[in-house]
Structures are given as C-alpha cells and as structure tokens.
C-alpha cells in the first residue's frame, strides 16, 4: 500500500514542478501552455493550440464531467443546508388577467423550416423593412383573453 502512496506523491511532486516551470515562463508563452494528463495518467507539457483532435476531445470530456460533478455536489450541499435549517424556498405566484398572445406567422408550405423558405423569408423581410414588398405574415392568436394564477410547487 505504501508503494502506491510513494509513487502518487512522486507523480504529484513532478506535476507541481512542471506547473512551476510553466508559471516562470513569460506571460505571452504561458497563456498557450498547460499540462495534459493522458489516458495513462502521465502529465506532459503541451501547447494548447497544437492539441490533436483526440486530445481536445479527452480534455473537453474531462472538463465537462468535472463541471457536472461540481455542480451536482454544490446543489446537494445547498439542499442539505436548506433542509437542515428548515428554510422555506422562496416562491413566486404569478397572476394574469386578460392575457392575449399573438404572433405573426407564415401559413402553409412557407411555415416549414427549410433552407429555401428561410432564404425567401429573409429576402422578403429585408424588402418589407425597406417598404418595397408587403409582408406575407398572418397574425395568429395563440391565447386570447385568459386569466389565471400560476402557483409554485404544484
């Protein structure tokens, strides 16, 4: 067991020495440098701009997984603390009266999100903005004069 702890301490010391060497570099060189830990656990100094596709993918996966774990850990600690002090989570109640939601939309085959329709819609939008071409959009009422309350925790 002690053999493994010595080797891990030696690896940590070696990694710390490499970071110290990078920190002594001038700022313009230090920005693009970093330590990359490969699949075998070996740390090596690399130029970040010259990382290969596989190395970039590995680095991004490691960073994203760390961020997800850190976020989950933070949220769990926050929940435990709120539960421990028996704090009520702030809630907001939303009330609305005579709410109407309308949108201007294309109807028929022009409503389909194809590349051709997108290009035509953009061109017609610019021509309409310059008052050259009338708009082909039709007003569509989504919600009409509704009232209600949205209560939290339901």
pTM of the model as a whole? 0.39
Q: Distance (Å, rounded) from C-alpha 110 to C-alpha 123?
A: 13
Secondary element (H or E) of residue 140: strand 138-150
pLDDT digit string (tens) for 86-112? 888 778 899 999 999 999 998 888 888
Judge contact between 47 and 32, C-beta under 8 A: yes
Q: Does the pLDDT of residue 42 top 80, yes or no?
A: no
Range with the poorest average pLDDT among 3-12, 20-29, 58-67, 74-83 = 3-12
Q: What is the pLDDT of residue 7?
A: 58
Q: Using CB atoms within 10 A of its CB, is residue 31 exposed (0-12), middle (13-18) or buried (19+)?
A: exposed
pLDDT digit string (tens) for 75-91? 898 889 888 888 887 78
Q: How many residues does the chain have?
A: 154
Q: Distance (Å, rounded) from C-alpha 81 to C-alpha 74?
A: 11
Q: Which is higher by pLDDT, 48 or 71?
A: 71
């Amino acid at each position: 067991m002690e053999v493994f702890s010595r080797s891990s301490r030696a690896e940590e010391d070696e990694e710390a020495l490499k970071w110290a060497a990078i920190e002594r570099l001038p700022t313009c060189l230090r920005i693009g440098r970093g330590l990359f830990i490969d699949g075998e656990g070996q740390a090596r100094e690399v130029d970040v701009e010259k990382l290969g596709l596989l190395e970039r993918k590995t680095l991004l996966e490691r960073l994203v997984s760390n961020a997800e774990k850190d976020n989950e850990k933070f949220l769990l600690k926050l929940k435990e603390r709120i539960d421990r002090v028996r704090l009520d989570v702030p809630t907001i109640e939303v009330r609305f009266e005579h709410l109407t939601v309308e949108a201007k939309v294309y109807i028929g085959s022009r409503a389909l999100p194809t590349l051709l329709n997108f290009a035509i819609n953009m061109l017609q939008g610019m021509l309409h903005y310059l008052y050259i071409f009338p708009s082909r959009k039709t007003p569509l009422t989504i919600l009409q004069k509704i009232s209600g309350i949205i209560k939290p925790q339901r």
